Chain A
Amino acid sequence: MPTPIFEVKNLDVRFSTPDGEVHAVKNANFRIDEGECLGVVGESGSGKSQLFLSTIGLLSGNGVATGSVLYRGREILGLSERKLNELRGSKITMIFQDPLTSLTPHLTVGAQLMETLRVHQRVPPDEAQRRVLEALELVRIPEAKQRMRQYPHELSGGMRQRVMIAMATVCGPDLLIADEPTTALDVTVQAQILDIMRDLKNELKTAIAIVSHDMGVIAGLADYVQVMRYGEIVETGSVDEIFYKPAHDYTKMLLDAMPRIDRPDRQGHAQLAPMPTGSKTLLDVRDLKVHFSVKASMFAKKKPLRAVDGVSFILREGETLGVVGESGCGKSTLARAVLKLLPKTEGAVVWCGHDLAPMTQEEIRKLRREFQIVFQDPLASLDPRMTIGQSIAEPLRTLKPELSRKEVRAEVSEMMARVGLEPGWINRYPHEFSGGQNQRAGIARAMIVRPRLVICDEAVSALDVSIQSQIVDLLVRLQAEFGMSLIFISHDLSIVRQVSHRVMVLYLGRVVELADRDAIYQNPRHPYTRALIGAVPVPDPKLERSKPRAKITTDLPSPLDTRAQLTFLKSKVIDDPDAVQYRPQLIEVAPGHLVAEHD
């Protein structure tokens, strides 16, 4: 057997904290050979990031790593900072989750890349320039020459992550460690980044270690997989073994918890109740527009940012409408405008036949017991100075002031039990709970007034997969119990498929497709919907390998540019960023299946 590029033996990582010692990584062993990709999966806090940070000496001050880390047979654990720096950034490189914080804001992209090259390989400037350009072209950055002169903040998230990969590969590394490289990115961009990494592995024979919580990402890229839990590697195997013949219960649980875009109604999960027939319309949103005016500089003319630009839909009682789209498509703005948390620019929101527009603040306030919202970040959406009991009781106290203290308490206890929180925890504070428990509290707060509509704004996006599936099951169960309608907003198309009766796809503030969930997933008509669905990684290695490569190769254009909304109808574009453009019409291609015009 040849010497592996990277080998880790009996690695232990411990942190000393004020609350005692934390054993973050327990006895890790693995090897990575040339051109191979090792995937490490685990939920937050499993120690998967610390495992790799410790191998290249990037632990924080209170951490100690023991064991052995061999790079091409040479021990590198405990090497001096100077010796490590020779390796780091040239032979062993890392890319992180957040590409903005990993780039220096005051240097141009080109300068940063050249610096890496010059520090490690002392190449003359013109050769450095040439190689940087090559590296940028390798990660498929369009107009690479111009990009070199730009600063990190001028690039989009996807472009920045490409620059990070270019930086990590410019010195020709043997090992690329990618720590959640696509977690902060949209699905279509994620698919492109994963493509680039696959090319690196196959063409340049770079060994890759990818750390991710997403089984789908791992399935598409890794050759070998390790599953981590509480610092321990509980299972190791080839990608096919792990995905098709998982041995450890935890691996099975992880795979089971992953929502599958190709299998919406799986055994062992709460089943979506069939769409109630003949129920009446609860919410009717007509041509809703929310525009913000944005000034590029102090003296520039104000331009409207069309966050929501003419969205219409109806929601029936007991129905779940899934809203999907990438970041910046106006999903959250739509939710807030419907709930009257943000002022709308135009259009109408009609609630049970009553237009909300002419109502006074006081009338709206009274109506709030009918519609509630669950937020993305469970910790941020609870007041840290209040007990969760107080937080859950708040809507009840303001919207049903006639209830006595005792009655409020009884209702809170009951609701806590229903969402799976121990009623005895009523006096505890959010910081004493995990993310999943806090999200249950957030759901309890929304449900306590028995609303007829609950909007879930990315309500499960910040949670680990196992918790995610529990919360999704909880929502589906509560819907069956209380019969409320849901608007389920998410960037995760797999989860939306699992919980929604109908699905609406947004692109830059406009609806591009709206249909029943099976119609939209099995027969997507709009090219954007197709690209979105195609980009979702599926936790099935064989399927991932046979998948065609991503089609969209650019990022979302700026929403300030009016041409952007016609990306899929190029034939009607007027080539002026401020011009009033043609509005693509929604066409009913089948009963209940609306698709925006496209080329």
Chain B
Amino acid sequence: MIATGTSAANAEAMMSAQNVQGRSLWVDARRRLFRNKAAVVSMIILALITLAAIFLPLIWPYGYEDIDYALVSCAPDWWPDPDVMCHSGGMHWFGSDSVGRDLFVRVLYGARVSLAVGLVATFVSLVIGVTYGATAGFLGGMIDNLMMRVVDILYSLPFIFFVIILMVIFEQSFILLFVAIGAVEWLTMARIVRGQTLSIKEKEFIEAARAGGVTQGGIIARHIVPNVVGPVIVYVTLTIPSVILSESFLSFLGLGVREPLTSWGVLIADGANQLETAPWMLIFPAFFMAVTLFCFNFIGDGLRDALDPKDR
């Protein structure tokens, strides 16, 4: 093989240098990820959106609750269609909503809520899913069977029905949103982690570790977890957008966050009601949400290609 031939030559050339630093799979993956233009651009855009959502509301002249009845459903000044009822003037870059609040700052607040829900609910599902899945996969046998049947039963509950029941039993609240979404998303995570653990458990290097006297805990910590991390990271980046979508869906139905707090889903629902008279109310939040979802998906794809080049 030519490739081997040259790498052998390289190896000989490097022999003079003491202790060659190897390229770990992580370093390789990072290099491949940064070669992926779509993923890099997505990361930059996401970083900008996140920073804007965190810092811009602090310095913005309008608050997200400030109602200005003079500016009900007003278009931004630069709106190209002249037939709008009014122009908002001032710093209202995205116009104002149906009760005269600044849409720009509300979109930023929506980003805060949507991203927070996305990250927190995904984190919750990550913790529960990885622990549950790795335990089931590593223990195997009857315990595994039992644990996965529980997952199957939870899977069979209709998501919306489940959320509505939760909302009825408890008060509708922000935290409940995390719980409801997290409670559904961890199921898939647990299945993925279990599958990965099962396949890694059968690998020869695990047997080699057992032959080398490594304890069960050592095997999980040193050999199984680091090898499960790759697929999990990929799934996490793909879970965030799906969580954001779930949240907007719930908010769209009126089951999500409560006024005056807002999220992209709430803004889109409001905008959809006034599509004909005030299209900007739909366009801006929808645009930001779409861009964010695209970015997460591109990053997820990039990570998958980077971590497992064979799958491409």
Complex Cα distance, B205 from A329, in Å, reads 23
Give chain A's interface secondary structure class.
Answer: loop
Tell me the smallest distance from the CB of A226 to a CB of chain B, in Å: 18
Q: Determine whether the beta carbon of B207 is less than 8 Å from that of A382.
A: no
Q: Are A369 and B3 in contact (CB under 8 A)?
A: no
User: A398 an interface residue at 8 Å Cβ cutoff?
Assistant: yes
Bound complex: CA A399 to CA B213 (Å):
6
Contact indicator B227/A398 (Cβ below 8 Å): no
Least Cβ distance of B214 to chain A in Å? 5
A507 within 8 A of partner (CB): no
**Contact of A368 with B213 in the complex, beta carbons under 8 Å:** yes
The answer to whether A434 and B15 have CB atoms under 8 Å apart is no
8 A Cβ contacts from A404-457 to B: 422-429, 431-432, 434, 442, 445, 449
With contacts A46-B1, A431-B25, A432-B7 taken as known, whether A383 is within 8 angstroms of B205 at the C-beta atoms is: yes
A231 near B226: Cβ-Cβ < 8 Å: no
Alpha-carbon gap, A445 to B205, bound state (A):
11
The residue from A22, A383, A386 contacting B3, defined by CB atoms under 8 A apart: A22
Of the candidates A45, A386, A398, the one whose C-beta lies within 8 Å of that of B213 is A398
Of A194-202, A247-255, A274-282, A371-379, the segment with at least 4 beta carbons within 8 Å of chain B is A371-379
A427: chain B residues within 8 A (beta carbon): 19-22
Cα–Cα distance between A409 and B178 once the two chains are bound (Å):
48
**Interface size, chain B (Cβ < 8 Å):** 37
The verdict on A383 contacting B213 (CB below 8 Å), with A373-B208, A424-B19, A445-B208 known, is no
A372 touching B212, Cβ below 8 Å: yes
Question: At the interface, yes or no: A381 with Cβ under 8 Å from chain B?
Answer: yes
Instruction: Give min CB distance, A409 to chain B, whole Å.
Output: 10
A394 contacts B by Cβ under 8 Å:
yes
- Once A and B bind, how many residue pairs between them come within 8 Å at the CB atom? 113
Q: Can you list, as one digit per residue, whether each of A363-393 has a CB less than 8 Å from chain B (1) or not (0)?
A: 0011011001101110011111111000100
Q: Looking at the complex, which one of A44, A369, A384 makes contact with B1 (CB distance below 8 Å)?
A: A44
Interface residue from B23, B212, B223 paired with A432 (Cβ < 8 Å): B23
Q: Any chain B CB within 8 A of the CB of A483?
A: no
Question: Which of B15, B17, B20, B218 interacts with A398 by CB under 8 Å?
Answer: B218
B156 at the interface (CB under 8 A from A): no
Is A599 an interface residue when CB atoms closer than 8 A count as contact? no
- Which of chain B's residues have a CB closer than 8 A to the CB of A375? 204, 207-208
B150 at the interface (CB under 8 A from A): no
Confirm or deny: A23 has a beta carbon within 8 angstroms of a beta carbon on chain B: yes
Report the nearest A residue to B225, measured CB to CB. A385
In the complex, which residue of chain A has the Cβ closest to the Cβ of B206? Answer: A383
> Are B24 and A380 touching (Cβ within 8 A)?
no
Instruction: Write the nearest CB–CB distance from A391 to chain B, whole angstroms.
Output: 8
Q: Indicate if the CB atoms of A369 and B211 lie closer than 8 Å.
A: no
Query: What A residues does B23 contact at CB under 8 A?
Result: 428-429, 432
> B25–A428 contact, CB under 8 A?
no
A230 with B204: in contact, given A373-B211, A385-B226 (CB under 8 Å)? no
CB distance from B197 to the nearest CB of A (A): 15
Question: Inside 8 A of B226's CB, which chain A residues have their CB?
Answer: 383, 385
Q: How far is B9's CA from A175's CA once the two chains are assembled, in angstroms? A: 39
With contacts A429-B25, A445-B212 known, is A384 near B15, CB below 8 A?
Answer: no
Q: Name the residue on B nearest A413 (C-beta).
A: B19
Residues of B within 8 A of A (CB): 1-5, 7-8, 11, 14-15, 17-26, 203-205, 207-215, 218, 222-223, 226-227
5 tightest Cβ-Cβ pairs between the two chains A and B: A45-B1, A428-B22, A395-B212, A381-B204, A368-B213
Q: A365-B213, A383-B222 are in contact. List 11 more A-B contacts (CB 8 A).
A: A341-B207, A372-B212, A373-B208, A375-B208, A383-B209, A387-B24, A394-B214, A423-B19, A424-B20, A425-B11, A425-B22
